[in-house]
Amino acid sequence: MKFFVDTADIAEIRELADTGLLDGVTTNPSLIAKSGRNFLEVVEEICGTVEGPVSAEVTALDAPTMIAEGRKLAKIAKNIAVKVPLTWDGLKACKVLTGEGTMVNVTLCFSANQALLAAKAGATFISPFIGRLDDINLDGMELIHEIREIYDNYPALETEILAASIRSANHVKDAALAGADVATVPPAVLKGLAAHPLTDKGLEMFMADWKKTGQKIL
């Protein structure tokens, strides 16, 4: 599974990129607005920080303007993935932009049928929102399973499943078990994947035993 981080905080992105475990970044206008900086400048800086795909979202709702915005965003860097909503106009824009060689992330997916349409439109990534489905008492992870099964039925569909709206380490694990290709997670969740109380306890015991020896490696 590939890991993307869902943030527009450059410092956090750099810290995670330095681990070698980060495969890409997803952003949206809300995340970039929190930075208080120029949208295009932030996107360009992120693209220069990571080698993998960087999702930058259009703000238009009609296909012609989505396409125009997508073309402008795609000129920022080769690793831009233009993010469009899963609407009829978004699918039209996806088809055009994909045909021009641009990576496209179709976002706000809440059904397997939507995911099938996005794949038919040539989406590079489909972003099903797990947490938001859970919020309304639906099983977000079931959607990942359904999309995986449909895509596997048709090998010609090359769209990657990008599990989004992830709230916890369990969401990451379950998405991986369900066959998601990518998980995009907040920085705190990504860092938390390495944490376990037994790891901390074991390390504490090792350090205590080592201290008793009075030795040093360096």
> What residues are annotated to the active site?
83
Handedness of CA 95, 96, 97, 99 (dihedral sign): positive
Beta strands in the chain (DSSP E): 2-6, 24-26, 54-57, 80-85, 103-109, 125-128, 160-163, 182-185
DSSP state string for 39-91? HHHHHHHHHHH-SS-EEEE---SSHHHHHHHHHHHHTT-TTEEEEEESSHHHH
**Token pair of 163, please?**
């599990």
Q: Yes or no: say if 143 and 175 are a contact pair by the CB < 8 Å rule.
A: no
d(CA 89, CA 12): 33
Nearest in space to 105 (alpha carbons), one of 128, 89, 88: 128
d(CA 142, CA 148): 10
